[in-house]
Amino acid sequence: KQEVTQIPAALSVPEGENLVLNCSFTDSAIYNLQWFRQDPGKGLTSLLLIQSSQREQTSGRLNASLDKSSGRSTLYIAASQPGDSATYLCAVRSYAGGTSYGKLTFGQGTILTVHP
């Protein structure tokens, strides 16, 4: 059974700092890994998706890396801004016994607060 863990559970940083969020998963047989953002009381916004054959993906100030063999991913946020404050969720898509396209398993999330 796939398990996804995110560290830290919460992070508070001053504006302008570069920061790293960590995600680890127990079963390395994944199709892909995805990072989401969730604002309080809202749904999920997809940030980056890394295929299992890729090492990293970049979008603006965000960079996500994937080391499938060690079961780890990091989300790097450069020059953080107060608007980046949200919960960041990591999710892996892995084989789920007969279901096509696998199943998404989510981590518990990292609550990020960027203060001015």
* Region near another protein per CB under 8 A, out of 21-29, 65-73, 77-85, 87-95: 87-95
User: Of 40 and 83, which has the nearer Cβ to another protein?
Assistant: 40
Q: How far is the CB of 101 from another protein (least distance, A)?
A: 4
Contact flags string 24-63 toward another protein, x per CB under 8 A: -------xx---x----xxxx-x--x--------------
Convert 34-53 to b/e letters by CB count within 10 Å (16 or more is b).
bbbbeeeeeeeeebbbbeee
d(C-alpha 4, C-alpha 114), whole Å:
24
Distance between CA 90 and CA 49 in Å, rounded? 10
